Amino acid sequence: MSSCTALRALAVLVWVAAAYPVVFRARPVQAGLAVNWGTRALHPLPGDITVRLLRDNGFDKVKLFEADPPALRALAHSGIQVMIGLPNDLLAGVAGSMNAAEQWVLQNVSNYVSRYGVDIRYVAVGNEPFLKSYKGKFESATLPAVQNVQAALVKAGLARQVRVTVPLNADVYESPDGKPSSGDFRPDISGLMVSLVRFLLDNGGILAINIYPFLSLDADPNFPVDYAFFPSPGAPPSQASVQDGNVLYTNVFDANYDTLIAALEKHGLGSIPVVVGEIGWPTDGSKYANAASAHKFNQGLFDRIVAGKGTPRRPQMPDVYVFALLDEDNKSVDPGNFERHWGIFNYDGSPKYRLSLAGGRPIVPAKGVRYLSKQWCVLRPDASPADPAVAGAVQYACEYSDCTSLGAGSSCGGLDARGNVSYAFNQFFQAANQQRAACSFNNLSTIVTTDPSQGTCRFEIMIDTGRHELTGKSSAAGARVGSSGSWSAMLVLGLVGLAVAAW
């Protein structure tokens, strides 16, 4: 979920997909665990620790939404295959200038492959560029950008190692009668889709599709809940299951994926490899976003991945890039508060729930993480939540930190008024690296050393981005952490200055 595009919540997820198993010529995609690593965090988990987290849990493929230097350097000689993204805001420039494409490839692909030994396998050109909600903004630039990046890879001598793809949202295809076998591309972009896929196919590229059953459920109160999940072995099929010829589709993932395959086959493009670029379930920020539902969905997904069980039209499971590895507290919440809570792991690399991999082996937490001091900023015991100054203080605190867990139905939605205020104050305090000036809300707040967490609501202590145990990397890794810490310190000074000025 992209830099997870801010408009993915508008994705139209087809409930249906294909019918008969068919023989296809798709080049098989190497099996393995794959995941999206987003970096929109105020206190990011250090790169070397993140890479160890990936390796400890068997993830041998990772997708980055942009060519993030600290992440790419941390991936050096890691044995992890990398897909890096070229963001939508760069499409026009790369499409209009071959030199711009060559420079981007030189700086963000060649440099990391040759200088750092990063195993880059794919460049994802754009991110869901054909979303209906974009109103055609990126349509004219996407294919030329893909062509120029491909030409730049050829010129750099990397075209055999690094392939091109375009991650697309599920709203690029549809089924007029609700059956996967009737799948076709959206009429307004049908010609563009055919040209794009044909180019990818002719140049050894792949297609990536983002599928989000959660978004269907979150957007439509009438969407059948059980159809969003993978059925448990032996469980009766959902009443919303779709009969398509002799195939019964019992979950939205199979139906959605096969609808795309049917559309490709309809245009003679059925041999293109199709990976799942994003799929997952958030744990907070919405009625349906909770740890129990996320565990149910992701465990079913991982069971399918480990078993290699694909869909009726493509029985072999493709590479599936789970969204996401970690929570990101600095992402846009335009689609919804859940955008910051897609991680399998919390912001600090601790598991949110037990998730079993091959052989029942559970996922394991990040190692070597260091935290700020065990202290929290809360509403003073003698201060009243009804104080006229409190509302403005809370609004200010949440503007510069993450308060998305306070929403109705979220993990902190059950707090009383005092708890709400304290949570907001603490989020700001932690975002500002616990500087004392960040807990000076007009003398309404105080610092405590007793954990104020309540029930499902966790009052967080942030990662100390300047202090952590390295995991065997060179001194360069320490320098990266120092750079990240310096960036955080600059942010902190700005936040504290604003806080002081406000009061």
Active site residues: 128, 278
Tell me if residue 173 falls in helix, strand or coil.
strand
What span, in angstroms and rounded, lies between the C-alpha atoms of 197 and 201? 6
* Helix-helix angle 47-56:475-502, to 10 degrees: 120
Residue 211, sorted as left (phi over 0), alpha (psi -120 to 50) or beta, turns out to be: beta
Buried b (16+ CB within 10 A) or exposed e, 37-49: bbbbbbbbbbbbb
Q: Sort residue 79 into left (φ over 0), alpha (ψ -120 to 50) or beta.
A: left
CB 235 within 8 Å of CB 301: no
Closest CA to 419 of 440, 449, 394: 394
Q: What would the 3-class secondary structure string for 12-78 be?
A: CCCCCCCCCCCCCCCCCCCCCEEEECCCCCCCCCCHHHHHHHHHHCCEEEEEECCCCHHHHHHCCCC
- Rounded Cα distance between 159 and 151, Å, is 8
The type of residue at 39 is: T
Question: Which amino acid is located at 255 in the chain?
Answer: A
Tokens, residue 284: 């907070």
CA proximity to 418, closest of 452, 458, 461, 462: 452
| Angstrom distance (rounded) from CA 323 to CA 1 | 6
Place of tokens 């492959």: 113
Q: Are 146 and 196 in contact (CB under 8 A)?
A: yes
Pick from 232, 228, 278, 277: nearest CA to 255: 228
Which residues 6+ apart lie within 8 Å of 371 measured at CB? 348, 461, 462, 463, 464
**Residue 174, Cβ neighbours under 10 Å: how many?**
18
Q: Which two tokens mark 12?
A: 């139209």
DSSP state of 185: E
Q: Say if CB 83 and CB 121 are below 8 A apart.
A: yes
In the structure, how many helices (H) and strands (E) does the chain have? 12, 15
